[in-house]
Amino acid sequence: MELGHVVVLAGGLSYEREVSLRSGRRVTDALRALDIPVELRDADATLLDSLAEDPPDAVFPVLHGAAGEDGSIRDILELLGVPYVGARPDACRVSWDKPTAKSVVRRAGLRTPKSVALPKEVFHDLGASSVLEQILKSLGLPLFVKPTRGGSALGASAVHDAADLSAAMVGCFAYGDAALVEQYVSGTEVAVSVIERDGVPTALPAVEIVAPGGRYDYTARYDAGDTEFVTPARLTPEATARATEAAVTAHRALGLRDLSRTDLIVSPDGEVHFLEVNVAPGMTETSLFPRAISGADLDLGEVCRSLLTARVR
């Protein structure tokens, strides 16, 4: 089927707005290179009227952060009856909340670091020092702290010294009202992207992330040249198979659709640990999903066209 009118949805008002706009431009350019009529639209007050007055064949959402990944915008698209690429609202809500996603994939048999998720109010009501003491007593060091919801490593940090835990919590709460504190797992950080072909999830080559100083933060993710990416990841064949299986298992267990990206740590003994999943992977020039596409000798525009076409059949 030919696509006569596609909308790429990017921007929004989350902390990740600028990254989303970069993703949107990348997808738009890739589709235009295939002569597909495509329009890049922001998630603003004009969007609903525009979609209602001139419904597209399909929408490709690349909204990152809240609204884009928590299912709410996709709820609106379903109310309008507009086909779109990606997970449906309920699956987004489960995946967006990291502790919930961890519980789901754990039941599906995946390993994930021991953790605790606590809202800001707990620290206020029970006393921050007492709560931090119990966290250290239960989980030990090192730790990794991040918001329970959100992406792009905003508010995330590793903690190797007990004295730094309080500052890490403050930094985390600047980007969310609840914190996920995990045991830190050392090893090779990889991302495994999944695309569906005829409804069957297929893992793309794992991308290994070698960040400066071991910190894959916002700057390391989006400033070209700061981080080394290796595709395929330098894993043993056995570890590669386990990472691939973990990403497909997470995609299925969470009820995802069309595409996803699962972040993993492969420990030195080859065990794979699930960290989180992304239902709207970044599409920028430094993002992991396009690197995996290239690593599979595929074209980003062709993959996006295939995913769009699958939604309007």
Position 181: which residue type? V
Check 20, 95, 115, 152 and give the catalytic one: 152
DSSP secondary structure letter of residue 18: H
Is 217 annotated in a binding site? The answer is no
What is the C-alpha separation between 182 and 186, in angstroms, rounded?
12
DSSP secondary structure letter of residue 236: -
Check 16, 69, 182, 208 and give the catalytic one: 16
188-197/178-183 β-pairing: unpaired
Question: What is the radius of gyration, based on Cα positions, of the chain?
Answer: 19
| Half-sphere exposure (Cβ direction) of 250: Cα atoms closer than 13 Å | 37
Instruction: Respond yes or no: is residue 294 known to be catalytic.
Output: no
Check 14, 23, 95, 287 and give the catalytic one: 287
Instruction: Respond yes or no: is residue 152 known to be catalytic.
Output: yes
204: helix, coil or strand?
A: coil
Position 168: which residue type? A
DSSP secondary structure letter of residue 290: H
DSSP secondary structure letter of residue 176: -
Is 276 annotated in a binding site? The answer is yes
Instruction: Respond yes or no: is residue 115 known to be catalytic.
Output: no
Any idea which residues carry the catalytic annotation? Answer: 16, 152, 287
Q: Can you say which residues are annotated as belonging to the binding site?
A: 263, 276, 278
Q: Can you say which residues are annotated as belonging to the binding site for Mg(2+)?
A: 263, 276, 278
